[in-house]
Amino acid sequence: MLDQQRVFQILADNGVSFFTGVPDSYLNGFCNYAIAHCGDRNVIAANEGNAVGIAAGHYLASREIPLVYLQNSGMGITVNPLVSLADKDVYSVPMIILVGWRGQGNTEPNHPQHKLQGEITPKIFEMMNIPYSILEDDIDAFEQTLKTAAQYCKDNRRAYGLIVPKGVMAESSKANTVDDVYPMSREKAIETVLNNMPEDTIYSVTTGRATREMFFLRERRGESLKNDFLNVGSMGHASSVALGIALEKPDRNVVVLDGDSATIMHMGCMTMLSKIDLPNYMHIVLNNGAHESVGGQPSVGHKVDFTSIAKACGYETVGKAVETEEELISAIAKLRSCGKASFIDCRIHKGLSRKLPPIVFDHREAIDELINELNK
């Protein structure tokens, strides 16, 4: 991994001192250094398009080149603001775009959700007419590349991409940091939901550690995945998938097991409940206040009143976040037959409660099993 102190010094030397984006495990060295040393000059955004907008505002107000960081899975969200706001034929806003290259070559054989994204990452830059460089784990080469990128941005008022392969901006493994802010773990919260909802409930589980823990809970309990949609990619869309299922199958209970960062990323889905009658839909946010799957960077999950937001969107709630197993059981009992779509902000602590290997399963086989269950 590149020496991050030197990385940030090189950035500063080239006039780049404002950072915004969505954390990525391939960039966790970079992201964690920014959090530790950059204060309010580093803004973790709700989503990647949001970050491009923030970066654009920074340039307009300062004439300084900003840097946007993201995983390549979020590049699609950046396309609209990059081609309709920052493009040279519109407002011509320069920025450096630092992208973690998940799915490059055969680096992620057990994660097919990254395969196509890895293949098209350079092509997306090419289609947007944004020049790019692929970084190496060589600090002298980085210095030259960054100098080229920054000068291009200044001279042309256009964006420049930096694609980051595995190991260049991140340690080889992520620490399992467990805190004690709230008593429940994610695993305990998920199992409590499983134990207190009907056996035939359909679950839509958000990307990251929630899908891993659901997978291994099912394995430990001797249960199949036939009732589960494991949202291994497309962060923030588990609730939308669940909404589509719940609309089509009003006789089935449908539960979203969401993350706080994922909920924030596409919070607009929550507003749909203001105009749709969906009493079989329950949205549970497993809220640990962190982007835990990519390195534990803080989110605003513990600072946001999700319950009030949900109520304003038309959900039934219990009026506050739940913090213990007993409170979660009570909330489920009250809401599962309340006659309206329901919402629970379930506060949990960070960290995996046990060591989990990577998920390895046949994604088509699993989804076909769910499809058969929903259409029998």
Whether the CA torsion 365, 221, 343, 374 is positive or negative: it is positive
Token pair, residue 66, equals 């900003």
What is residue 175's predicted lDDT score, i.e. its pLDDT? 65
CB 168 within 8 A of CB 147: no
- Residue 169, domain member (yes or no): no
Is the same domain home to 78 and 225?
A: no
- Residue 174, domain member (yes or no): no
Is the same domain home to 23 and 158?
A: yes
Is the same domain home to 35 and 80?
A: yes
Q: CB neighbours (10 Å) of residue 182?
A: 20
- Residue 100, domain member (yes or no): yes
What is residue 174's predicted lDDT score, i.e. its pLDDT? 64
- Residue 172, domain member (yes or no): no
- Residue 181, domain member (yes or no): no
- DSSP for 163-231, written as a single string: EE-TTSSS-SS-------SSS--HHHHHHHHHHHS-TT-EEEE-TTHHHHHHHHHHHHHT--STTEEE-
pLDDT in tens, 117-151: 999 999 999 999 999 999 999 999 999 999 999 99
pLDDT in tens, the chain (376 residues): 999 999 999 999 999 999 999 999 999 999 999 999 999 999 999 999 999 999 999 999 999 999 999 999 999 999 999 999 999 999 999 999 999 999 998 777 778 888 999 999 999 999 999 999 999 999 999 999 999 999 999 999 999 999 999 999 997 666 677 788 999 999 999 999 999 999 999 999 999 899 999 999 999 999 999 999 999 989 999 999 999 999 999 999 999 999 999 999 999 999 999 999 999 999 999 999 999 888 889 899 999 999 999 999 999 999 999 999 999 999 999 999 999 999 999 999 998 767 777 788 999 999 999 999 999 9
- Residue 171, domain member (yes or no): no
- Residue 179, domain member (yes or no): no
CB proximity list for 64: less than 8 A, separation 6 or greater: 15, 16, 17, 18, 58
Is the same domain home to 150 and 206?
A: no
Residues above pLDDT 90, as percent of the chain: 88
Which secondary structure element, helix H or strand E, spans residue 99, and what is its range? strand 96-100
Q: CB neighbours (10 Å) of residue 329?
A: 15
Is the same domain home to 133 and 15?
A: yes
Is the same domain home to 332 and 274?
A: yes
Is the same domain home to 28 and 125?
A: yes
- Residue 351, domain member (yes or no): yes
Give the ranges where the chain is alpha helix by DSSP (H): 4-13, 28-37, 48-62, 75-84, 115-127, 139-156, 186-196, 209-221, 238-248, 260-265, 306-313, 325-335, 363-374
CB 99 within 8 A of CB 164: yes
Distance (Å, whole) CA 9 – CA 250: 57
Is the same domain home to 151 and 51?
A: yes
Is the same domain home to 149 and 190?
A: no
Is the same domain home to 24 and 105?
A: yes
Number of domains in the chain: 2
Is the same domain home to 364 and 311?
A: yes
Give the chain's mean pLDDT: 95
Q: Name the domain boundary from 130, 164, 198.
A: 164
Could you list the residue range(s) of the whole structural domain that residue 100 is in?
4-164
Task: Tell me, yes or no, if the pTM score tops 0.85.
Answer: yes
Is the same domain home to 17 and 158?
A: yes
Q: What is the CATH number of the domain that holds 289?
A: 3.40.50.970
